Amino acid sequence: MKPIEVTDANFKSEVLESTTPVLVDFWAEWCGPCKMIAPVVEQLATEFAGKLKVGKVDVDSNQQTSMQFGIRSIPTLLIFKNGKVVDQIVGAVPKHALADKISKHLN
């Protein structure tokens, strides 16, 4: 399963109104660590399919959403549950660390 593209326009419907938890990857094309973590985010989208929605926000083309959540460095991954940020991961972290954080919010 591929992560969905989340934009300023669909953020509310895709993330804030989602009935399942959502992992949102804030990234940019020019960001090296973002490229390193991208395959991990895709693997997690497949592994947690049905339990977790995974989206990616390009910070360059969606500055409103990035500013709303105070994204200062990328990659930043936010976990949303019931429309609220419940966890945050900054930087390219190992897959098991991401999976552990996600698992805590799936119930």
Active-site residue identified among 15, 22, 23, 31: 31
39 catalytic? Reply is no
The SS3 of residue 94 is: coil
* DSSP code of residue 50: T
Known catalytic residue: 34? yes
Contact assessment for residue 15 and residue 65, using Cβ atoms and an 8 Å cutoff: no
DSSP H or E stretch at residue 9 = none
d(CA 17, CA 21): 10
Task: Take residue 93 and report the two structure tokens written for it.
Answer: 């972290």
Candidate list 34, 78, 92, 98, residue with the active-site label: 34
Active site residues: 31, 34
